[in-house]
Amino acid sequence: MLAFCTGIGYLFSDLGFSTANVIVIYIIGVLGIAMLTAGRSYSLAASILSVLICNFFFTEPYFSLFSDPSHIMTFIVMFAAAFFISSITARIKRQTHQTALRVYRTEILLETSQKLQQAIGTEQILTVTAGQLVKLLERSVLIYPVENGALSEPMLFPVNENAGFDDYLTQYDRDSARWVLENDRRAGNGTDTRQKSNGIYMAIHANGRVFAVAGVAMKASPMLESFEKTLTVAILDECGLVLENEYNRIEKRRIEEKARAEELRSNLLRAISHDLRTPLTNISGTAALLMENELPEEKRRQMYVSVYDDAHWLIDLVENLLSITRMEGGSRIEDLQPELLDDIFREAVSHSDRLLSEHELEIRLDDELLMAHMDARLIVQVVINLINNAVKYTPRGSHICLEASARDDRVLISVADDGNGISDEAKEKIFDMFYTGNKASSDARRGLGLGLALCKSIVQAHGGSIAVSDNTPHGAVFTFDLKRAEVQPDE
C-alpha cells in the first residue's frame, strides 16, 4: 500500500504538485491499511513508515532521512494525523465487527427459540440446543441427559471433524458434570468450582428440575466473553423450558393412559362380573338337574349341549382377556415370526364356535405356502373372533368364507358372510370396546363386546389395519392385513 502511495507521490511531483499533496496521499494510504488490517500495531507501523518514506523520497536532500528543520513539525503533524485517523478507522472497524457479531449471535438466539418450538422429543430438543451452541461459540459441545436422577452417557457434538472429546470424558470432568447436576450451579474451567476441568459445565433446568448438563470445550481456547456467556445461558434456559413442557406433556399422557387403564379395568370387572354370573349359574343349575333327576335322553343331550356352550363361551372370554393383558399398553409387537396362513386358518377353525358346523365354511388361499409375519397365538385369536362373530350374527346354513391373498408386500386376510350385513351406523362403532350392536342372537346377554375391539388392537400392534365392508349381494366382510413373509428355500 505504501509503495503504491509512493508511486502516486512521484506522479504528483512530476505534475508539479506540492509536498503537502503527497502527504495527503500517504495519510489516505495509512487509512487504507487501517481498514484492511486488524490491530493497532499495523496502523502505528504504517504511520511511522509513511513519515520516513515521505522524508526519504520527497524532501531535500532526496534519498536521505535528513531534512530541513522546518519540515520536522510538518512530519510530526503528518504522523499524528495518520495515526489518529488510522486509530479511529480501526476502532470503527472493530465496533462494526462487534455489532455484526452481536446481531449474528442474537439471530442465533431467535433461531434457537424457533427450532426448539418445532423439536419433538427430548433427544431432538437437546440436539437442536447443542447444534446452536456449537454455531454460537464455535466450540465442541457435549450434553449429559438426566434419567432417573443420574447422568446418562453424553451426546457429543464436535465443532469440526477433527475435534476430539477424550479430554472432556475424563473422570474429573465427568465428576464436574455430576457436581452441576447435584448443585444446579455451573462448574469447571472459568468458574470458581473445579477449575481444573477441561470444559465448563452448566445445568439445563427449569423450576428446580435439572433435565441435562451441557459442557463446552475450553481447553486451549480463550475464555468465553460476557456476551457469549449471556447468550449461552439464555439458550440453555430456553431449552430447559421446552424440556419442562415436554416432561409435562409426557407426564400428562402417562396420567391419562393410567386413568384410561383404570377405567378399562373397572368396566371389565363390572362387565365380567355380570357376564360370568349367567353362564356359571346355568352350568351349576343344569348340572344339579342332571345329577338329581332322571330325564329323557333327548332332554339330557340338550342340557349337555347347553353346558358345553356355556363352558366354551367362558373359555373364549378367558382367551380374550388373556390377549388383552398381552396387548396392554398398545405398543407395536417387535418379535414377529413368519407363519403359514394355512396353519393359522386350521388352528382357528379347530377352536371356533361349535355352531360353525351348522354353517357352510369355505377356505381360500392364493398359495398354500403363503406366509406372513405375526405373533401366531394372537392372530389365531383374531381369526377365531371374526369366525365366531360371523357364526353368531348369521342364520344357520349361511356361507362363511375365510380367505388370504397376497398384495405387494402385504397379505390380506378376510372373513366374509352372507348374513344380513351391518348398518353404516354400526360400522363406525363396531371396533369400539364393549360395543355389541343391536342385532344379536338370542344369547346376546353374553355380548361383552371385547372380540372386535381386541382384533383391532392386535392387528394395529402388528402394523396393520382392520376394516369392515359390505359383502355382495348381502352380508359383511372383515378384512385385515399383515406384512408378507417370503418362503425360504429350507422351509
Cα–Cα–Cα angle for 427, 430, 435, nearest 5°? 140
126 pLDDT more than 90: yes
Which is nearest to 200 in space by CA: 182, 176, 178? Answer: 176
Q: How far apart are CA 39 and CA 90, in angstroms?
A: 7
Predicted pLDDT at 365? 94
What CATH number should be reported for the domain whose range is 329-485? Answer: 3.30.565.10
- pTM equals 0.53
Mean per-residue pLDDT, 374-397: 90
C-alpha cell at 335: 418379535
- Give alpha helix (H) positions in 119-225: 122-137, 171-183
Residues 322-330: contacts with CB within 8 Å, 24+ apart?
323/378, 323/381, 323/454, 323/458, 324/268, 324/450, 324/454, 324/457, 326/378, 327/378, 327/454, 327/457, 327/458, 327/461, 328/261, 330/457, 330/460, 330/461
**12 exposure class (CB count in 10 Å sphere: 0-12, 13-18, 19+):** middle
Q: Which residues pair with 361 in a beta bridge?
A: 400
Superfamily of domain 120-251: GAF domain (3.30.450.40)
491 pLDDT more than 70: no
Mean per-residue pLDDT, 458-463: 88
C-alpha cell at 147: 434419567
Strand pairing report for 337-340 and 209-217? unpaired
377 pLDDT more than 50: yes
C-alpha cell at 5: 502511495
Q: How far apart are CA 359 and CA 396, in angstroms?
A: 6
Mean per-residue pLDDT, 17-32: 70
User: Which of 81-90, 285-294, 405-414 is predicted least confidently?
Assistant: 81-90
User: Which of 122-131, 202-211, 212-221, 310-319 is predicted least confidently?
Assistant: 310-319
Q: How far apart are CA 354 and CA 352, in angstroms?
A: 6
**Residue 383 CB coordination number (10 Å):** 24
Query: By three-state DSSP, how is residue 371 classified?
Result: strand
pLDDT band (50, 70, 90) for residue 214: very high
Q: How far apart are CA 371 and CA 491, in angstroms?
A: 11
pLDDT band (50, 70, 90) for residue 33: low
CB 434 within 8 A of CB 449: yes
Mean per-residue pLDDT, 445-459: 71
Boundaries of every domain in the chain: 2-101, 120-251, 329-485
Mean per-residue pLDDT, 195-211: 92
**Strand runs labelled E in 307-398:** 337-340, 360-365, 371-374
pLDDT digits (tens, 9 = 90+) for 263-288: 767 766 766 676 677 778 888 888 88
Of 18 and 192, more confident:
192
307 pLDDT more than 70: yes
User: Which of 65-69, 256-260, 352-356 is predicted least confidently?
Assistant: 65-69
Predicted pLDDT at 64? 65
Across the chain, mean pLDDT equals 82
Half-sphere exposure of 189 (CA within 13 A, CB side): 18
Predicted pLDDT at 414? 96
pLDDT band (50, 70, 90) for residue 72: low
Strand pairing report for 199-206 and 209-217? antiparallel
**CB burial readout 52-67, b (16+ within 10 A) else e:** ebbbeebbeeeeeeeb
pLDDT digits (tens, 9 = 90+) for 147-199: 988 999 999 999 988 888 999 999 999 999 999 999 999 999 988 899 999 99
Of 269 and 135, more confident:
135
Of 384 and 38, more confident:
384
Question: Can you spell out the DSSP letters for 238-291?
Answer: HHHHHHHHHHHHHHHHHHHHHHHHHHHHHHHHHHHHHHHHHHHHHHHHHHHHHH
Predicted pLDDT at 441? 42
